[in-house]
Amino acid sequence: MLRKIKLDEAVGMTLAHDVTKVIPGKFKGPAFRRGYVIQKEDIPELLKIGKEHIYVMELEPGEVHEEEAALRIASAIAGSGIDFSKPSEGKVNLKAKRTGLLKVDASLLKELISLGEITIATLHNNTVCQAGAIVAGTKVTPLIINEDKIKKVERICQSQGKVIDVIPIKKKRMGIVITGNEVFEGRIEDGFGKVIQRKVGALGSSIEHKVIVPDDVDMISQALKELTANGCEVIVICGGLSVDPDDVTVAGVRSAGAEIISYGAPVIPGAMFLYAMRENIPILGVPAAVIYNPTTSFDLILPRVLAGEKICREDIVELGHGGLCLNCQKCSFPICPFGK
């Protein structure tokens, strides 16, 4: 139970919650924390931040304070690779214990929030996050909440699983095939290799084998087979994915015996993206947009492949929602693909 006390009668009383102070553009945080005993000299400051009353808390059986509630929700939803902070202003931050790929069970998240008075906010599913990054926050709306609602959150998570995990991105042996007569014959310099190496390196892997071939179906096919034989666990193939008559990369991938999972992705830039599997080795076909645009479809799929996910056609179809990348300056792969 909460009792509302006038400020001029509150000296010696103990705050039941953090009192927030906001200075526009400079500061937002607790001016006085829960458990603080109000002194006479605090009254002018409390009045400045708009407080004329305080709450004094007397919990009854079956009631939970907002801080305990936020902690219990955080504990219920946090899976592997997740740690969480102490409460501040009634909120608990959940952080990544390791650099990895954030996985969010969106349907379970929706179910929990739909209970009412429960706030759980997360980053987007499949966001690449660094160790220590905040990936979610929990809070309840009232200062005191019925414990039955918190217990329901805990029961649902016990039966259905965790809402968020950070799964590790693994180091993989990777190979790259550069296609194009103009590169093979030396008329122009390869523009893909350094870009792909930088993106792969940012995720902890490296290109161990690089092959340059002309626009020839048989030679493309043979290059893919050679990289597989050399132990490459992931293969990136660049160029030759447009609808031009000279572009035969897709035919070369098929000729190597690979299964085309998707040719094309609902992502701009990077719509001419290829994803295929050959002998359980993922093949990622990279469109020319990767040379010019900092983030494309390749940046959305690569982390998931390196995290060990088996990508299906539906995974690529789902990229359409949010698949228009404005390549804004705030977007810095692999921290925040497509600004998500």
Query: Could you tell me the two tokens for 203?
Result: 């995720």
| Integer CA distances (angstroms), 282 to 65, 77, 238, 276, in order | 50, 32, 14, 6
Mean per-residue pLDDT for 293-316? 95
Tell whether the model's pLDDT for residue 147 goes beyond 80. yes
| pLDDT tens sequence across 75-112 | 999 999 999 999 988 899 999 999 999 999 999 999 99
- H-only helix segments in 12-86: 43-48, 66-77
Above 70 in pLDDT, residue 330? no
pLDDT of residue 36: 77
Looking at residue 269, its pLDDT comes to 92
**pLDDT tier at 329, thresholds 50, 70, 90:** low
Domains of the chain: 2-57 (3.90.105.10), 63-168 (3.90.1170), 173-339 (3.40.980.10)
pLDDT in tens, 312-323: 999 999 999 989
pLDDT above 60: residue 209: yes
State mean pLDDT over 210-238: 96
Please count the CA atoms within 13 angstroms of the CA of 151 that sit on its side-chain side: 6
Q: What is the DSSP string of 86-111?
A: PPBTTBEEEEESSSEEEEE-HHHHHH
Amino acid at 309: E
pTM of the model: 0.83
Q: For residues 102 and 178, what is the distance between their CA atoms, to the nearest angstrom?
A: 31
Given a cut of 70, whether residue 270 has pLDDT beyond it is yes
Tokens of 100: 């990895």
